[in-house]
Amino acid sequence: KNLGSTCYANSLLQQLFHNTAIRDFILTLPVSLASQSTPLLVELKLLFSKLAYGNKNQADLTSFSKAFTGFDGFPIDVKVQQDVNEFFNLLLDIIERELREGGLSVEDQVRKELGGLFSNEISSTEPERPYQTTNEEHFNTLSLDVKHVANLHEALDQFFKPEQFDADSKLFVEQ
């Protein structure tokens, strides 16, 4: 049920619900309805339960929107359109925080299903100055340039294309 300008939340929550691993994870969370430390997880579990087991093909987001607090600590204003990417990242942050605060050590399940890990490698192209370093980063979303490409494969190729640093952009490493 759309409460005003909550289509961003509706569409994201529908996507999460239809991901069976996430739906099953949320539905089987051992959270109490009276829990004060996990209010959003409780509301998310109730919302998914209504969608999974209710006799309606929609659910009301009113309770969820009151439990979901923005960066400012206040419940979201259902009359104000939000950016779905910001909403998604904040939702994941809150879920992970509540899992930790609730003593539930299952937060990796969310990261595993809804994110990824990529490796950032830097290596020297100058044989007389050998250098190589690698670091891994977790990500929830990737920002792809889609304006200048024909399809998703080209956007991903562009995103993962090696970048050559030279002249003014050259990296200097202390030995």
Q: Is the pLDDT of residue 149 over 70?
A: yes
pLDDT digits (tens, 9 = 90+) for 156-168: 999 888 877 776 6
pLDDT tens digits along 62-86 = 888 888 887 777 777 777 788 888 8
Q: What angle do CA 107, 45, 39 make, to 5 degrees?
A: 75
- The string over 83-100, giving b where at least 16 C-beta atoms fall within 10 Å of a residue's C-beta and e elsewhere, is ebeebbebbbebbeebbe
DSSP string, 12-40: HHHHHHHSHHHHHHHHT----TT-SS-HH
Residue range 81-116, pLDDT digits in tens: 888 888 898 898 888 888 887 777 655 677 778 888
